[in-house]
Each structure stands twice: as C-alpha cells, then as structure tokens.
C-alpha cells in the first residue's frame, strides 16, 4: 500500500503504536499513556474508564488494576475488551480490540515493586469500586495497612495485570476538512498475518 507512508509507515503495528506514543510523550502535558478502556457487564451493558497502559509487548498491551474491581469482573467475564488512545496534541488516536488474559506472575510483581510506596500502600488500602463511607475512612485504612505492610509491601493477591492481545488495531490521524486518514489492521485467531485496509473517514 504505497500511500501508507509517513506516520503510518511500517510492517509492525506495535512498533507504530510505540512510535506514536513516544511522540506523544514529548508534547502531551499529562499521561500520554492513558487509554479509555471499554468492557461489558453480564447483561451486555458497556462500561468505559481511563486507565494507564504500562507495557507494549511484541504482540500485546498490558495494564494493571484491582482484581476485585468492576472492570476486572467484566474483563474476566467477557474475556474481551477494547480501548482507544487519543492524543489531542498530535490529533491522532489508536483503537484496539481483542482478547484478555491475566498477568499475575513475576511481571506483575516487578511492576508493582516499581511503583511509589504510597501507591503500593494505596493499592492495599482501596477496595476498588466498593462503596466508601468517607475519605476519612479510606485514609484510616491507609494508616492501618501502612502499619501492617511496612515500607516494602508485596503485591496484593487481589491486584495484578491484564494482557490484551489484539485482533484489530486502527490508526487514525486528523485530516483537512474532516477527511481523516484511517488504516485498520486485523487478523484472525491472533495469527502473525495482518490484513491492512484504508477506511473512509
């Protein structure tokens, strides 16, 4: 596809995402790795929220959360999810859809250990998505777990990662007169071969 050059050039969609993210890191004021993660509940009702993408692997995307949260229950229940990364400064976005599995081993341990102490203690203290009586109650729980866990808390058993292996990746860039450029990469059964199509804006 001769016209797929410039910012769209390349034979590896994960490399293109990494390149775009590196460009965004230079110009986005906050959280260039933020993604709007979409899931569905048991009734098929969609949910969306912002999370931080923490790793772009050779064939997958990884983020972390509390396994007892609503998002985790929906991820585990459906086994599928989608997300969009949008950078206003670059006028670009990446849309991703695929299958979900947990990252609950050494990689999750290493990432948890890399977080600040306050973030690690906060992960222990927060019962994510559960009703909370007051902020004071939350801070009291933080004080409690600080006394229990000390200065080097291990990763909680209820906290870890998710790996999204995509079947679809769409690259979108703003165009003049709202005639945007869109290229969809898709594959079957998570195989190595991608089919690339230009889409109408």
Q: Which residues are catalytic?
A: 178
Q: Contact, 12 vs 192, CB < 8 A?
A: no
Report which DSSP code applies to 106: H
CA 33 remoteness from chain centre: 8
d(CA 90, CA 110): 32
d(CA 29, CA 112): 24
d(CA 11, CA 9): 7
């Amino acid at each position: 596809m001769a016209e797929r050059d410039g910012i769209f050039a390349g034979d590896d969609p994960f490399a293109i995402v990494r390149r775009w993210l590196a460009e965004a890191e230079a110009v986005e004021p906050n959280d260039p790795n933020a993604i709007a993660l979409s899931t569905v509940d048991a009734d098929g009702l969609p949910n969306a929220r912002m999370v931080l993408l923490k790793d772009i692997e050779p064939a997958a995307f990884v983020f972390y959360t509390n396994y007892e949260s609503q998002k985790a229950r929906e991820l585990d229940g459906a086994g599928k999810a989608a997300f969009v990364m949008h950078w206003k400064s670059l006028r670009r976005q990446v849309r991703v859809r695929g299958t979900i599995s947990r990252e609950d081993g050494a990689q999750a341990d290493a990432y948890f250990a890399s977080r600040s102490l306050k973030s690690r203690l906060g992960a222990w203290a927060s019962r994510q998505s559960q009703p909370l009586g007051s902020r004071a109650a939350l801070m009291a729980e933080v004080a409690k777990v600080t006394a229990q866990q000390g200065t080097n808390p291990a990763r909680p058993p209820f906290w870890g990662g998710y790996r999204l292996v995509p079947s679809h990746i769409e690259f979108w860039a703003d165009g003049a007169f709202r005639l945007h450029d869109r290229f969809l990469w898709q594959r079957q059964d998570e195989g190595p071969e991608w089919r690339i199509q230009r889409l109408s804006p």
